[in-house]
């Protein structure tokens, strides 16, 4: 198995300490293009596409393996092993944040820090837990996606992005969603939005930074507070950025927050 080809791994940067960036649902490594230049001088930058996304090897997509987020976490560990990385700082956006958490729980010695942008361990409201959606809403959204994926992307991508004053951002997310194989995207969506990793958070030993955006319909403020409380060694930063993709809409704030945390 060629892990580098499978995940379309790209490496840059002049430093030795690795920063590994994981993208969210319907996206690819290109979503980090405004953030990574700031870290080229002092870090080794590792970008990759989840199998099924971007320029990854679509033939490697296995619905059994990727029926839970653990399949993606296994890939992350294989990427780290293949590149012989140590003391990894994993930067995960959206669902990749939970993949990073699962990876660090499984093999904590490989990770020095996690940076979690818009993380959510569970998207569905449950008793006293606010995930942002009722179960019926999630099931309705997934059914909508099954019925007409393109129309779903046109409808939901701008809502996920937020920042209606910057319509080009929503259009970019629509294009990214539509460039993803619809069958893979639908399966990935089921896995993402029906996952529940709340019980995993207290198991994490790795130090973590949580970035919480305002007006994020995917990971509302209550979720960020929950993640912070559940991860014992965590720092929570409330960004001024709005929406769910600050790596695109507010990259300078993301960079500044990361630099402060990493003490660059």
The residues annotated with a catalytic role in the active site are 94, 216, 244
Q: If you ran DSSP here, which 8-state letter would residue 167 be given?
A: H
Name the β-bridge partners of 20.
Answer: 46, 90
Question: Looking at the DSSP assignment, which residues form a beta bridge with residue 207?
Answer: 113
The residue with tokens 């893979």 is 184
CA separation for the pair 243, 218 (Å, rounded): 8
162, 217 Cβ separation under 8 angstroms: yes
Contact 34/102 with Cβ under 8 angstroms? no
What residue has token string 């403020």?
221
**Residue 181 DSSP symbol:** -
H-state helical runs in 58-181: 69-82, 95-106, 135-147, 149-161, 167-178
195 in helix, strand or coil?
coil
Q: Going along 15-67, which residue ranges are E strands?
A: 18-22, 44-47
């Amino acid at each position: 198995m060629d892990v580098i080809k499978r995940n379309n791994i790209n490496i840059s940067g002049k430093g030795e300490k690795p920063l590994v960036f994981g993208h969210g649902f319907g996206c690819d490594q290109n979503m980090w293009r405004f953030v990574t230049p700031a870290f080229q001088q002092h870090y080794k930058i590792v970008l990759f596409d989840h199998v099924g996304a971007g320029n990854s090897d679509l033939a490697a997509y296995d619905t059994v393996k990727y029926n839970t987020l653990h399949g993606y976490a296994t890939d992350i560990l294989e990427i780290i092993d293949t590149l012989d990385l140590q003391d990894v700082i994993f930067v995960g956006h959206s669902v990749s944040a939970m993949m990073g958490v699962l990876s660090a729980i499984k093999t904590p010695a490989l990770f020095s820090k996690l940076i979690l942008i818009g993380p959510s361990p569970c998207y569905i409201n449950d008793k006293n837990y606010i995930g942002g959606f009722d179960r019926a809403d999630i099931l309705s959204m997934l059914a909508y996606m099954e019925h007409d994926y393109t129309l779903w992307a046109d409808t939901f991508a701008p809502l996920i992005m937020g920042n209606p004053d910057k319509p080009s951002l929503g259009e970019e997310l629509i294009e990214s969603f539509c460039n993803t194989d619809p069958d893979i995207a639908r399966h990935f969506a089921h896995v993402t939005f029906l996952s529940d990793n709340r019980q995993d958070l207290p198991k994490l030993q790795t130090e973590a930074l949580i970035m919480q955006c305002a007006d994020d319909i995917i990971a509302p403020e209550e979720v960020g507070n929950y993640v912070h409380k559940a991860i014992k060694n965590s720092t929570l930063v409330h960004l001024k950025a709005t929406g769910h993709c600050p790596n695109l809409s507010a990259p300078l704030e993301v960079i500044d927050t990361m630099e402060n945390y990493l003490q660059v």
